[in-house]
Structure 1
Amino acid sequence: MKRLARSIRKKYRYFVDAKTVTIDGVTLISDRDRIPLYLRDLMYREVYEDTERNILLKILKRGHKVVELGTGLGFISLLAARICGSENVNTYEANPAIESLIRENFRLNNIEPQLHMRAVTRDGRKLSFNAADNIISSSSFERGVSGRTLDVDSEAFSEVLRAHSPDVLIMDVEGGEYELLMSDNLGPIEHILVELHPHIIGREKVNEIRSHLGAKGFAVESNDRKTFHFHKIRPT
């Protein structure tokens, strides 16, 4: 029944050329002049960011402190803020080209997660960032996609953790996960929700991440496609 309802809503959205879409209570701009068609289709079908969304809806609680690395269009930070409170959600985005879209999505929902327009790196260095025309392919890695290369400021990962003391870390940084998650100190984090990218960093580095997190006391709670939920196991 839910699948049928989604199908009906999708057809209606295409019929009226919907300029916004609401998914799980979060409204997003879906204007064809501003959003790539493939991304718009994901929104219309209500499968945009579905792997992260499905896990977050199970684990987030009011008062959780959340840090998100890779804001994208702001959907996940908005979802987190609806549950945890805007004051408890800090989100970082390196791509200046999408700042206006993020802030418009925030205004549409009358919710203001704490947005930081800079990258996060291990050491806080200036970063060469590939801002792709394909929004979700932007990365600090050269991926052979059309776009432009920018020098962007970054904040050291350790400083981000120190400043916000997150319970939940959400990360979709298109290959940057290796540099960050191989850190020795992961602070007070209880949950890590990360999209791993073997096609960018290689399967060996993905396996290194999983082994390293295991050594730090994190176990895989669940995974859906490339999205993994690691949960900190406390000694009994």
Structure 2
Amino acid sequence: MMSKLKINNQFIQRVYKRAIKEYRLLIQPKIIQIEGIKIKIGEHISPPVKKAMYIGEYESSELRAVKSKLSTNDIVMELGAGIGLLSSYCAKRIGSERVFTYEANPRLEIPIRETYQINQVLPNLEICLVGEENGEQTFYVGKNFWSSSIIPWNEGAKPITVAVKSFNQEIRKINPSFLIIDIEGGEYDLLKYADFYNVKKLVIEIHPKAIGQDKAIFVKSKLAEMGFQINHKLSKNSGILEELFLERNN
């Protein structure tokens, strides 16, 4: 009897979630909630990104890992704020003063701060790249904000010059225990020089389409050398994109 009730409950949940997705696609509300975080759907969000948000696929793997593994004593450092979803979620859980996020695309600063405002959080936000050294670097802004990168792999992306802060200096200053990396192909260059210091938990997107399989393998090899192990239950590999959650004990 209990197993039948469990199966029925799971079926009802699936039907409910599907109905929510279809409703969002049909109505296209101006504000949606993802894991309790309000997101305003504005002109800065392109149709493919908007659809991913409406059907619940936007940053779903990263959110699942953060939701499962974030602790109240963690300090979070995020590379690639996007529109502020993950940093807002972390700030709600552990406090804004324990969340530090970086976004290279200056066009996203207003949407990010709007996300923070409507969710009543205020993580530490820096509009800059993180790189090997302080300075400036070319950054390519795509039509879909999630395709903007230091790599001009997206056709039609426009080059701009942005400020760069040293990753290794920032990580020592912040001393995060939880690191989130979503920098659309920049992960290869980062892993060539990065010292992850006292980081114990890591969410990272690896983009073989942008950097190639050999460089994707290099990224995972460097992480293994640092003592990180993949948690396969909280990771996802679509073939085009690898969304990994890793932990280390040393």
Distance 1:135 1:212 in 2: 28
Q: Give the one of 206, 211, 236 matched to 1:224.
A: 236
Q: What residue is the counterpart of 2:204 in the other structure?
A: 194
Secondary structure of the residue that 1:126 maps to in structure 2?
strand
- Tell me the alpha carbon deviations over residues 137-182 of structure 1, each in whole angstroms, 9 at most, x when there is no partner: 0001011422321100010011110110000110010111112223
Q: What residue is the counterpart of 1:132 in the other structure?
A: 142
Distance 1:149 1:2 in 2: 45
Distance 1:91 1:119 in 2: 11
- Tell me the alpha carbon deviations over residues 48-100 of structure 1, each in whole angstroms, 9 at most, x when there is no partner: 10010111111101121000000001111111111121110000000011111
Q: What residue is the counterpart of 1:148 in the other structure?
A: 158
* Aligned partner letter, 1:140: I
Aligned length: 233
Q: What residue is the counterpart of 1:233 in the other structure?
A: 249
Deviation at 1:8, TM superposition (A): 1.9
* Aligned partner letter, 1:26: I
**Residue 94 of structure 2 is aligned to residue 84 of structure 1:** yes
Q: What residue is the counterpart of 2:7 in the other structure?
A: none
My pick for the range that moved more, 8-17 or 51-60, is 8-17
Give the root-mean-square deviation of aligned CA atoms. 1.4
**Residue 60 of structure 2 is aligned to residue 50 of structure 1:** yes
Identity of aligned residues (%): 30
Runs of 4+ in 1 over 3 A off after TM superposition: none
Task: Map 1:34-73; keep pairs closer than 5 Å.
Answer: 34-73=44-83
Q: Which has the larger radius of gyration?
A: 2
Give the TM-score normalised by structure 2. 0.88
Distance 2:218 2:30 in 1: 42
Which has the larger share of helix? 2
Contact 2:75 2:175 in 1 (8 A): yes
* Aligned partner letter, 1:228: L
